Amino acid sequence: MTHLLLLEEAKGNQEELVNIRRRIHKNPGTGFDLSDTLTIVEEELIKLGCEPKRCGKSGIVTTIGNPTGKCFLLRADMDALPIVEETDLAFKSPNGKMHACGHDLHTTMLLGAAKLLKSHEEDLTGLVKLIFQPAEEIMLGASDMIENGCLENPQVDAGMMMHVMPALPLDDGMILISPKGKALSSCDWFEIIVTGKGGHGSTPHTTIDPIVAASNIHLALNEIQSREVATDDFMSLTVGEFHAGTTSNVIPETAELKGTLRTYNDDTRAYVKERMKVIGASIGQAYRCQVEVNFLAGCPTLENDSSLVELANRILPDYIGETKLVPPTALSGGAVQMGSEDFAYFSQKIPTVMSLIAAADSRQSPAYPVHHPSLVLNEDIIPYGSTTYTAIAMEWLKSNK
């Protein structure tokens, strides 16, 4: 079999995989609550002759290949977002949740890879472990699966992930291998709870206004990046939520800030988190409020293994065509990416590589970014994603016999 025949085989599975993708898209779940998606994935794996097993709260693991060789991991995330879908798709979600980040396509492409791997199982020189992961959007799924042994029995030696990449001027189906080293930033979700003393808006002197304190905390947080961190030390500190009060003539008891901290440097990450606590406590004291700074879910930086990056860039043109593989500079001109992915937890345990697949060409109108309620992704990319998963796994196993 020539390498490009694998892509043709993947294209032959397209109709079946599109139907699977639409079932997943129409029945999304969030976090660890993925009952419909889990049922679909397990049913499809069993049809292929695989033996899917649950891992952790709601993950699925299965293996294909030769158990006497090394083990390569392929991972897809399954969870959606708490977004009301605003597309005109016949299979749009009716339940107030939406696959607005393309995880339905990730899952479908990995099922497509399972189909390819199963049909060429006798050619595999090792074992491929397929991981279907929950709760990526809340950054809890990868760590849950790792803690519950997904990298063991058999032990995983290396792995990869794939993510859709819409709203860029690239032909749909183009593949980009992210650069070696740090590929995505760490992420820490935080909440800051400011407690004062509520009261009537006509007598503010009898209250302790938490909104004033919270507003000053917000302003002070912005000054960490501009005044305390070097300009070439990449970080992003964003407050995305500010909640206080329920009506206009009452000073509330509490105010709450929520957001994310993203960095590329572990020392900077630790420094900024400590400074956030000090700023919160100090401003709280100045304004007579109690301040609680909590760091919730998060993940470390995602690390790309240099040898895996080189292997992927070397072999993929033979499988998907030279014009379908694009350099990392095609993504925002090579700018540093401050997005995060909880696959980073895998990258801290084993050598990994992150691949991206163009899925909604911005030259076509409309093309929305991920997490947008009107996002529509091109299903024609499925064969390219399935082939990329399969090719990297097969070639890594060949080179590591």
Supply the DSSP string of 311-349, one letter for each residue. Answer: HHHHHHHHHH-GGGEE-GGGTGGGPPP----TTHHHHTT
- Total domains present in the chain: 2
- Residues 260 and 192 placed together within one structural domain of the fold: yes
Of 299, 322, 345, the position where a domain reaches its end is 299
CA 132 centroid distance within chain:
13
Closest C-alpha among 284, 292, 271, 294 to residue 220: 284
Residue with tokens 């593949």, as numbered in its chain: 175
Work out whether the CA dihedral 389, 135, 353, 72 comes out positive or negative: negative
Domain shared by 37 and 63, yes or no: yes
CA dist., res. 342 & res. 333, Å (int): 24
Distance CA 186, CA 269 (A): 8
Domain co-membership, 206 together with 271? yes
176 and 200 assigned to the same domain: no
Same domain, 292 and 192: yes
Specify whether the CB–CB gap between 330 and 394 falls below 8 A: no
Q: Which residues pair with 167 in a beta bridge?
A: none
Peptide bond into 204 cis (omega under 30): no
Q: How far apart are CA 234 and CA 84, in angstroms?
A: 33
| CATH number of domain containing 158 | 3.40.630.10
Smallest Cα–Cα separation from 112: which of 391, 376, 306, 396?
Answer: 391
What's the CATH code of the domain at 241? 3.30.70.360
pTM of the model: 0.94
The beta strands (E) that lie in 166-307 are given as 175-177, 181-184, 187-195, 199-200, 235-244, 250-251, 254-263, 290-299, 302-304
Q: Is 163 annotated as a binding residue?
A: yes
Tokens of 296: 């919730």
22 and 137 belong to one structural domain: yes
Where is the domain boundary, 252, 270, 299?
Answer: 299
Q: Are residues 11 and 69 in the same domain?
A: yes
| 318, 227: one domain | no
> Is residue 42 exposed (0-12), middle (13-18) or buried (19+ Cβ within 10 Å)?
middle
Regarding whether 257 and 136 lie in a shared domain, the answer is no
Residue 168: CB atoms within 10 A of its CB come to: 21
Q: Do 376 and 275 sit in the same domain of this protein?
A: no
Token digits for 103?
A: 């995880």
Distance from C-alpha of 225 to C-alpha of 6, rounded to nearest angstrom? 48
Range of the domain at 108: 3-185+300-399
Q: 325: which strand partners? A: 175
CA distances from 30 to 80, 95, 96, 97, 125 (A): 5, 11, 10, 7, 36
The DSSP annotation for 43-109 comes to HHHHHTT---EEETTTEEEEEEE-TTS-EEEEEEE--BBS-------TT--SSS-B--SSHHHHHHH
8 Å CB contact between 160 and 389: yes
Q: Which of 259, 274, 299 is the last residue of a domain?
A: 299
Block means of pLDDT (10 residues each) for the chain, length 401 residues?
A: 85 98 98 98 98 98 96 98 97 98 98 98 97 97 98 98 93 95 95 98 97 98 95 94 97 98 96 98 98 96 97 97 89 75 97 96 86 96 98 97 89
Helices (H) and strands (E) in the chain, counts: 10, 16
| Confidence (pLDDT) at 60 | 98
3 in a labelled binding site = no
Q: Are residues 104 and 173 in the same domain?
A: yes
Neighbours of 355 (CB within 10 A): 22
**Rg, the chain, Cα only:** 23
Is 101 annotated to bind a ligand? Reply is yes
Environment class of 226 (CB within 10 Å of its CB; exposed 0-12, middle 13-18, buried 19+): exposed
CB atoms closer than 10 angstroms to residue 143: 18
**Same structural domain, 86 and 146:** yes
